[in-house]
Amino acid sequence: MLYDRVASNVRRTYALMFVFTALVAAVGLAAGLLLGIGYWGIMIALGISLAMTWGSYYNSDRIALSMSRAQPADETRDARLHNIVEGLSLAAGLPKPGVYVVDDEAPNAFATGRNPEHAAVAVTTGLMKKLSRDELEGVVAHELAHVKNRDTLVMTISVTLIGTVVLAADFMFRAFLWGGMGRRGRGRGGSNPVGLVLMLVAVGLLILSPFIARLLHFAISRRREYLADADAVLLTRYPDGLIGALEKLKADKTVVRSASRATAHLWIESPIDNAANSRRQKPRAWLNGLFNTHPPLDDRIAALRGITGGVGLGSAAGRVGS
């Protein structure tokens, strides 16, 4: 059952965030060994991470909307979208978020913001043209679920931690290659086998940490999508709406022009994966799948079909926005 997976996703996501923080601390310790400052490296790494997270916490919505070229939705021209967002927000017990439109033929949508009081939902013009009202409700409900569950905040923090890990690893490894840290390391433990092993482990961690950080980030993102799908169904009481939307997204090969890897995890379907699939039709290798920001649409559709009927979700006549 999908709802059993939802509970499991919540527990595993917290575990992944703990591992993420531990990775930042480990990078700091490795940097401290190479610099000869010991445990101060952990404090410095966590301090930088905290500063970057604090800045992105207050500016994540504006940055994401600007990068995606989103504009405020007109209340007259986009009245249907405003009506759907307002109705679903009321049903979910959320303040109405900012409503934005991205001028793009590719059907897609995303939510951003640090909390429900400072949130925004953006949809493309292509999404509004190609989806029925039921399907558009399913997509908006999915995005509001991200807002209610604070997924946008969690993903902002994970992206920031990635930046911290990558920057620290790159700086420390370059400095080590330049020789400054190498001389310090040899002075501190070059003749000591244990010190040499620790130094090699530190260098290896700095090389592998960006790769590990990205895997953790993508794992967090994929689990959040299943949870948002389930919550969207609970909100609309109509699984077929979201199922139909995902099926249309799967069939459409149009690429979002304003998409970037920095914001790919925010969209309901990864625009980066969509662009890659439009250039090649052969199945992805399992290794490539590790770096997907979203689970396969087929898996999400199958999970939603598993709860269609028999769970008291009601009919189309009884859902929100009808």
Residue 212 has a CB neighbour count (10 Å cut-off) of 17
Closest to 181 in 3D by CA, of 41, 305, 320, 277: 41
Query: How many angstroms separate the Cα of 185 from the Cα of each of 36, 90, 173, 264, 312?
Result: 7, 60, 13, 40, 65
Is 143 tagged catalytic?
yes
Which of these is catalytic: 86, 105, 137, 143? Answer: 143
Residue 264 has a CB neighbour count (10 Å cut-off) of 22
Q: Name the residue with tokens 């009081």.
A: 117
Angle between the N-to-C axes of helices 239-251 and 297-305, in degrees from 0 to 180, rounded to the nearest 10: 160
**The one-letter amino acid at 302:** A
Torsion (CA) 265, 263, 154, 46 in degrees, nearest 10? 120
d(CA 116, CA 63): 17
d(CA 312, CA 190): 68
Tell me the catalytic residues: 143
